[in-house]
Structure 1
Amino acid sequence: MNVEHSPGTPYECCIIALKVGGSTKGQEQVSPGAAREKTPFAGALALVPWLDFVVRVYKAFFQRAIIAPEKGTVEALDHVARAPQAGDGPVRITLPDGSVRVFDRGVSGGEIASDIAASLAKAALALRVDGALKDLATIIDRDAEVAIVTTRDKDALELIRHDAAHVMAEAVQELWPGTQVTIGPAIENGFYYDFARAEPFTPEDLPKIEQRMREIVDRNEPIIREEWERDAAVEYFKGRGEHYKAELIAAIPPGEPVSIYRQGNWLDLCRGPHLPSTGKLPKAFKLMKVAGSYWRGDSRNAMLQRIYGTAWTSKAELDAHLTMLEEAEKRDHRRLGREMNLFHFQEEAAGSVFWHPHGWTLYRVLQDYMRDRLEAEAYVEVRTPQLFDRSLWEKSGHWEKFREHMFTAESEDKILALKPMNCPGHVQIYKQGIKSYRDLPLRMAEFGSCHRNEPSGALHGLMRVRAFTQDDAHIFCTEEQITAETLAFCDLLRSIYADFGFTDIVVKFSDRPTKRAGADEIWDKAESALRDATAQAGIETILNPGEGAFYGPKLEFVLRDAIGRDWQLGTLQVDFVLPERLDATYVGEDGGKHRPVMLHRAVLGSFERFTGILIEHYAGRLPMWLAPVQVVVATITNEADDYAARVLAALRDKGLRADADLRNEKINYKVREHSLAKVPYMFVVGRQEIEIEKVNVRVLGSGSQAVSLGAHSLERAIGALVELRREKCSRDIAIGPYLQGN
């Protein structure tokens, strides 16, 4: 067992832990480049104000080795004593502002923070070394670029959430001994941990766990990284009855060190990094719910219990998030989908949507809108098969990189796969006939139906499905055309998003992933081309390292919705790999063969997911131009049935999606029912409206209410709706000026 941050002697370990756990008040501040005081006596004097913390670190490090060594930690004291010394040579540390500090030996992140300012040492949570996130106790024994991470940095939230998961797991095992912990990562907006326990957790258990978590934070347990030998780690966790952890560790290649984190007497397998101590975890956390999960996400494996939580840097952030969640629950597209009679799901077709008439109307409205926009930009629409032979996927590289997400079938001794994406099929169409440079750019679009084998536990309404349709397109162009095509696509994308009511957009630049196709030289070329294109187009991007597609870098367009949530939708990917793999060519101006560049692009992503986002963004109150039913003609009395039929015909004659409600029900009941269905407008007709040949216009209000805008001539009322549809107004109350003739 090796302790990562031990600089040498046991005593020096305590000094490092001290500097990690708090400020350096009372310690000598050493200026950059100055020689450090090396006498143990001088160091001991500096420790006095922090004796309590040092004692706890000492216990965490050595009590287990000297007094009660645990199974699996054989020769723990010997390992600590033989821990590598900090480097003897000078170390140059370059800070984010460009300043350089020189230390005469290896130095920890805590020491660097102390050398800068006592306040920074107190606030420090972790550090980045040449871009890599590390524990604050990490010893840097070479020249490096270093940034200290505090709660002000974006890295802090993931650290806090990861630590919250560990603290929660420790709390659960203290409260219910014998519970096994499995996997517990930080996720977007929070964290979770999966537990194996015979008795079910209940909502009433969550406050108990939260209280124990606060106690663990108050204990301020040092969090220490240790490296164990794999077999010793397996035996240790087996001995504790932690069979899931033992299975994870056993899968680590032989000879590879196992990273274990210790907080107090609690241990967990983890790559890290983590906060210096549990006391650094803000008490701005809350456990949200208990759910079921499967071991390794496979329904064939054992059922586990998952506890979800959220954690933030402050109580104010936590409160704001909880308020947002309350609003998000009201807007949940699954609930609204039922209330609006749009769609449903069932187990016999998990991950596939049953579209009801009104839902399918909305789907077709989106598709028709996108088709019109693409035709205006000179895209040609195509249709490619659903099933392809395995050989094509092998040529394209998808079989190697994407096989686990593909549905396959056998026929006549051949393996076929449902397409998870449309790009290889589009290359096949491109290759039909000789292409000249004069034919480029060729913009090929398809509303392509795709299937991906998502784990059942990951499915989530329209947001995560197995069967979906993309607004997919591929632009075949020359290298010289990349910039112009990028600019044109970004202009189109912004215009489309604005029509749907989204104007807050962030663009991320995702570069090469670890798992990728193509040589580094090709990736250099693709990344450079996309970077140059965004620069010339004046597009500001945020780097999203390692998140590119396996065949090329990409831009990701992230939208913010009405309650502040971010959704990644559109993409633009530059691909030099697939044209090479599938032998796509064109004849250049020089008469020779050249490879086209392939730009993969989508605006909505998938119609299913975008529909879910729209429903939640508008809380079901879709703009009139999108609403499946734009107006309902409702009668007050049966005497108005004939007049209502004439009104309905006039509405439909103008292409408006209209229905009539002639039931023998009270008008208030009808208004309530159609308001709950989020119909934006109602034309109410009774004896009075028949006599004056008008309609009483009502607009969808809050809840189940509708606001009356008074009686208006049928011609003016219909004209107002037609104008609203044409302008794609997102605020339906804007009908007022049109009704007044303005």
Structure 2
Amino acid sequence: MIKITLKDGSIKEVERGTTVYDVAKQISGRLAKEAVVGEVNGNTVDLSYVLNEDCALNILKFEDEAGAHAFRHTSSHIMAQAIKRLYKDAKLAIGPAIDNGFYYDIDMDHKLVPEDLEKIEAEMKKIVKEDLKLERFELPRAEALKFMAEKHEDYKVELINDLPEDSIISFYQQGEFVDLCAGCHVMSTKEIKAFKLLNLAGAYWRGDEKNKMLQRIYGTSFPKASQLEAYLNMLEEAKKRDHRKLGKELKLFALLEEGPGFPFFLPKGMVVKNKLLEYWREVHEKADYVEVETPIILNRKLWETSGHWFHYQENMYTLKIDDEDYAIKPMNCPGGMLVYKTDLRSYKDFPMRVGEIGRVHRHELSGALHGLMRVRAFTQDDAHIFMLPEQIKDEIMNVVKLIDGVYKTFGFSYHVELSTRPENSMGTDEEWALAESSLQGALEALELDYKLNEGDGAFYGPKIDFHLRDSIGRTWQCGTIQLDMQLPQRFELSYIGKDGEKHQPIVIHRVAFGSIERFLGILIEEFAGKFPAWLAPVQVKLLPIADRHLPFAEEVAAKLQAAGLRYEIDSRAEKIGYKIREAQLEKNPYMLVIGDKEAESKTVSVRSRDIGELGSLEVDAFMEVLLKEVKERSLKTLFEKAE
């Protein structure tokens, strides 16, 4: 017998040779039914995994991240099997599980169209009904190469060739279909009952634009049809909220072929962007930050000093000036280091909080560009905090509180992730240990739950990432806090300590919005284009019923302007019903209808975008409530619906 320590700490004795699935079945029939994979001593394994020694065991369901990953990984295999049945010449590249779904990259002569997805889905349903067992087997590298070469799977051969010669290569088989795969998977195809193929895209092999363009099929899957239906409904809602569509309709920004990845902000979009920046400056002034601006182009020597020339060059735009190499900055940090060096610093200057709303450029593949969410030029709300080692914890806690306040202003909830040292990092083990423990200590002092992402930090330091959750359940990584002991060393930053000697400061890199453009895209989708009054490009739309009502409309407009409120007058010779519908489509928070009665009584008939008719109000009374709404940065109207 062997001892199995379960998640709740209880110990279960089972026969040696018992599988993970058998243990789940012994615990409860329901658990066995819902189990997807297991976790043995922290490693994810198939349910068919045989237990031969004492261990810690956790049974994972679809609700667990590793469970959903395995479920959708199996879904990608079923899709690949269906494709191979329908298109004999198809060559498979990679087919991973991703957040909320899966995809497979395929190389074949037939150009897939949306109608083909229905055929593939139909074949997938047959495979599910066939109840094919997923069985793992392993081969030495040489045999694995021969095995895949005989199947003419050129991309799999290339992947195996990249592995060390002494590798043992794992495969999974279901019926006639075999795929190169590390796992894990569900036990049978019959478990993947609710799935949907969503769309087609192009993808360069290995993400390199020098390689062949492959066809990518995206899909999603769930254990229950009701879960799939809810997800598809969410996607439909997301389409309605698509910031690219709304950005065009609301005349916020333009994406033009003359500048792919370089968005053009239109007047109304600039209003929203500037209001975000105005808010950012207000928050940071209260938190004792100073603001600087650094150049967009700096020479190669700087980027070599920072390490970006060697670690990040493929993402940078480079050029020559006077026969010298320069680069357009992909981030603001190195310039911030130079700002620090413009003066002698003392320990009395710390903490020194320096903010920058800096324009940065990064080379993104054309296939990765997505509206304002993934661009090649964007504005980062950066800040660098220079401090003493003993100030680290307090400053990190202050930044977390600041970012928390920013997100609450927009109504966002979020979760936090801590990313630790990556493989291509700079610095010593001791420096990384101190940096990681400082971030972790601050999170624990604030009693913030967090997820640990091992090996996902920046090359110069660990980081805390903030992932926003929007109104339809999607998450977005925006804010980040990075603790850096490398750039101060590389740039030879120093300060005079209490002992009169030179010392090296510690630096925190941090952003709240992240990319202003991306944050704006998120807000457009979060609010479905219906910005709260303080952010709305046009807060009040004046709707005179006839030309004779224009003079009073202009009188009202003058009052709005004097109060700093943003307005437009619709003076077109159109019927009032048409004007109201147009204003509603423009998603203006308030509409003021002005006719004979209003012009005579010096009132306005107020209509709210969100709650409808508010009745007749005096202009000053309307402005008083709206100004309060704007000042408080309220997310909802402060007016009450008329009875």
TM range (shorter): over 0.9
Which of 637, 640, 643 aligns to 1:736? It is 640
Match of 2:416 in 1: 507
CA distance in 2 between partners of 1:447 and 1:133 (Å): 43
Q: What 5-or-longer segments of structure 1 have no aligned partner?
A: 1-31, 34-91
Match of 2:117 in 1: 206
Cα shift at 1:393: 2.3
Match of 2:275 in 1: 365
CA distance in 1 between partners of 2:24 and 2:610 (Å): 56
* Aligned: 1:700 with 2:609: yes
Which of 550, 554, 568 aligns to 2:463? It is 554
Contact 1:297 1:457 in 2 (8 A): no
Which of 692, 717, 722 aligns to 2:622? It is 717
Match of 1:10 in 2: none
Match of 1:151 in 2: 62
CA distance in 2 between partners of 1:412 and 1:258 (Å): 53
* Residues 205 and 538 of structure 1: CA distance in aligned 2, closer, same or farther (over 3 Å): same
State the SS of the aligned residue for 2:219. Answer: strand
Match of 1:273 in 2: 184
Counterpart code for 2:613: S
CA distance in 2 between partners of 1:456 and 1:672 (Å): 38
Match of 1:611 in 2: 520
Counterpart code for 1:621: K
Match of 1:71 in 2: none
Match of 1:423 in 2: 333
State the SS of the aligned residue for 1:348. Answer: coil
* Aligned: 1:596 with 2:505: yes
Match of 2:578 in 1: 669
Contact 2:351 2:391 in 1 (8 A): yes
Q: Which has the larger radius of gyration?
A: 1
* Residues 320 and 292 of structure 1: CA distance in aligned 2, closer, same or farther (over 3 Å): same
CA distance in 1 between partners of 2:36 and 2:591 (Å): 58
Contact 2:203 2:214 in 1 (8 A): yes
Could you list the per-position Cα deviations for residues 497-522 of structure 1 after superposition, in whole angstroms to 9, with x for gaps in the alignment?
222222x2222222223332222221
Aligned length in residues: 643
* Residues 332 and 415 of structure 1: CA distance in aligned 2, closer, same or farther (over 3 Å): same
* Residues 145 and 584 of structure 1: CA distance in aligned 2, closer, same or farther (over 3 Å): farther
Match of 1:3 in 2: none
Cα shift at 1:205: 2.5
Match of 1:579 in 2: 488
Which of 361, 379, 384 aligns to 2:294? It is 384
Cα shift at 1:652: 0.8
Could you list the per-position Cα deviations for residues 585-641 of structure 1 after superposition, in whole angstroms to 9, with x for gaps in the alignment?
222222222222211111111110110111111111110000011112222111122
State the SS of the aligned residue for 2:114. Answer: coil
Could you list the per-position Cα deviations for residues 71-107 of structure 1 after superposition, in whole angstroms to 9, with x for gaps in the alignment?
xxxxxxxxxxxxxxxxxxxxx6543333456778677
* Residues 119 and 362 of structure 1: CA distance in aligned 2, closer, same or farther (over 3 Å): closer
CA distance in 1 between partners of 2:114 and 2:212 (Å): 22
Counterpart code for 1:303: M
Could you list the per-position Cα deviations for residues 41-94 of structure 1 after superposition, in whole angstroms to 9, with x for gaps in the alignment?
xxxxxxxxxxxxxxxxxxxxxxxxxxxxxxxxxxxxxxxxxxxxxxxxxxx654
CA distance in 1 between partners of 2:32 and 2:249 (Å): 54
* Residues 143 and 589 of structure 1: CA distance in aligned 2, closer, same or farther (over 3 Å): farther
Cα shift at 1:244: 2.9
* Residues 532 and 634 of structure 1: CA distance in aligned 2, closer, same or farther (over 3 Å): same
Cα shift at 1:698: 1.7
CA distance in 1 between partners of 2:445 and 2:220 (Å): 40
Cα shift at 1:724: 1.2
* Aligned: 1:647 with 2:556: yes
CA distance in 2 between partners of 1:660 and 1:347 (Å): 33
Contact 2:538 2:566 in 1 (8 A): yes
* Residues 690 and 585 of structure 1: CA distance in aligned 2, closer, same or farther (over 3 Å): same
Contact 2:36 2:71 in 1 (8 A): no
State the SS of the aligned residue for 1:639. Answer: helix
Percent same amino acid at aligned positions? 45
Counterpart code for 2:126: E
CA distance in 1 between partners of 2:479 and 2:82 (Å): 41
Match of 1:455 in 2: 365
Contact 2:534 2:633 in 1 (8 A): yes
Match of 1:5 in 2: none
Contact 2:61 2:68 in 1 (8 A): no
Which of 523, 526, 542 aligns to 1:633? It is 542
* Aligned: 1:409 with 2:319: yes
State the SS of the aligned residue for 2:640. Answer: helix
Which structure dedicates a bigger proportion of its chain to strand?
2
Could you list the per-position Cα deviations for residues 418-452 of structure 1 after superposition, in whole angstroms to 9, with x for gaps in the alignment?
22211111111112222111100001100111111
Cα shift at 1:143: 5.5
* Residues 295 and 559 of structure 1: CA distance in aligned 2, closer, same or farther (over 3 Å): same
Cα shift at 1:362: 0.9
Counterpart code for 1:691: E
Match of 1:313 in 2: 223
Which of 308, 319, 332 aligns to 2:242? It is 332
Match of 1:441 in 2: 351
State the SS of the aligned residue for 1:547. Answer: coil
Which of 50, 74, 93 aligns to 1:182? It is 93
Contact 1:341 1:677 in 2 (8 A): no
Listed as ranges, the matches of 1:80-99 within 5 Å are 93-99=4-10
TM-score (norm: length of structure 1): 0.82
Cα shift at 1:290: 2.2
Could you say what the CA RMSD is over the residues aligned between the two structures, in angstroms?
2.4
* Residues 101 and 714 of structure 1: CA distance in aligned 2, closer, same or farther (over 3 Å): closer
CA distance in 2 between partners of 1:114 and 1:417 (Å): 60
State the SS of the aligned residue for 2:335. Answer: helix
CA distance in 1 between partners of 2:82 and 2:382 (Å): 47
Contact 1:157 1:313 in 2 (8 A): no
Listed as ranges, the matches of 1:2-41 within 5 Å are 32-33=1-2
* Aligned: 1:726 with 2:637: no
CA distance in 1 between partners of 2:327 and 2:149 (Å): 41
CA distance in 1 between partners of 2:429 and 2:226 (Å): 45
* Residues 735 and 274 of structure 1: CA distance in aligned 2, closer, same or farther (over 3 Å): same
CA distance in 2 between partners of 1:249 and 1:388 (Å): 41
Match of 2:213 in 1: 303
* Residues 715 and 336 of structure 1: CA distance in aligned 2, closer, same or farther (over 3 Å): same
Cα shift at 1:682: 1.6
